[in-house]
Amino acid sequence: MSYELRHSETLGHNLGRICGKQIESAITVAKGETKTDDTPVHEMRKHLKKSRAALRLVRKEIGRGLYRSQDHGLRDVGWLTSEIRDAEVRLQMVRELQEVTRRDGRGTYGNLEMMLTVELENFMAAFTEWQTQAIPLLEKAVSAVDCWTVDHFSCKQLRCAVQASYKCARKALATATADPTTENFHQFRTRAKTLWYQLRILRPVNPVVLKALSDDLHSLGDLLGRAHDLSFLGERLRSEHGKSKWQREGQRLLAVIEVSQSDLQRGAAELAEHFFAERPRDSGSRVASWLQEWECKSSDSVAEALVT
């Protein structure tokens, strides 16, 4: 797979290839050259997150200036489409909740769905030129990958970078647990998702264990993502308080959101406490041992190829 380490490349070249490929994929989505299962905005933003997770692994080695320039450029592309994506999420959540209430024989949210549909259409019309702004930024970012000074990027450096991501996520979890606000859980979700992408990159070094760890983080991310989307929709509905056309629907839906969000956050916290029980140093040591073994196999493969 393209989002994984390969034996045939050095670690530095692996990460450059991975990051560059994700940015190139984002460009093809922005240009409309790729068919996607999801909306173009959502698909492009996924590529941005994956590229930034790979970029973060080499931030110390390529230098603060280049890292900040490239990371901020990718972040700015995401900001270009944030209003559209936010509107997509709100509408999607109402539709999902409406399907649940229909099955249960309860009232539906037709007025709210109509309002959010119009809102999404308005945002898409207002930001219709986002591609023309995004493509030059993405092309600049992919060109910057060629400037990376990672020819001698080592297993130790990679282990330190992954360990730092684990430590950041663990710290964010502690903050969210101590003060369970929506913002704190969102910050934890962001850190956990970065680590998830990085573990996917590392998967070939220990396929069985890292697949299990990645799956656990994916499940955790799904819980946190749904809780965040519910909270996000709730904030939007509260801003409409007093507008009679959908006030009754909004109040009914807010009650569902508050209960569901609390349950999701509690479930995510329990799963996360188990996942992040290990100390960062111990987690880093495990990664280091896997990388050393993988590097030895890589060297053996290269030696065999030279002999033949």
pLDDT tens track for 223-256 = 999 999 999 898 888 887 665 566 777 788 888 8
Output DSSP code: residue 139: H
CA distance 99 to 94: 9
Q: Is 0.75 topped by the overall pTM? A: yes
Cα separation of 303 and 275, whole Å? 38
pLDDT digits (tens, 9 = 90+) for 139-151: 999 999 999 999 9
Distance between CA 133 and CA 127 in Å, rounded?
10
| Per-residue pLDDT reduced to its tens digit, 4-50 | 999 889 999 999 999 999 999 999 999 999 888 889 999 999 999 99
Do residues 29 and 227 make contact, with C-beta atoms less than 8 angstroms apart?
A: no
Q: Give the C-alpha separation, 88 to 120, whole Å.
A: 6
Both tokens assigned to 308 = 């033949």
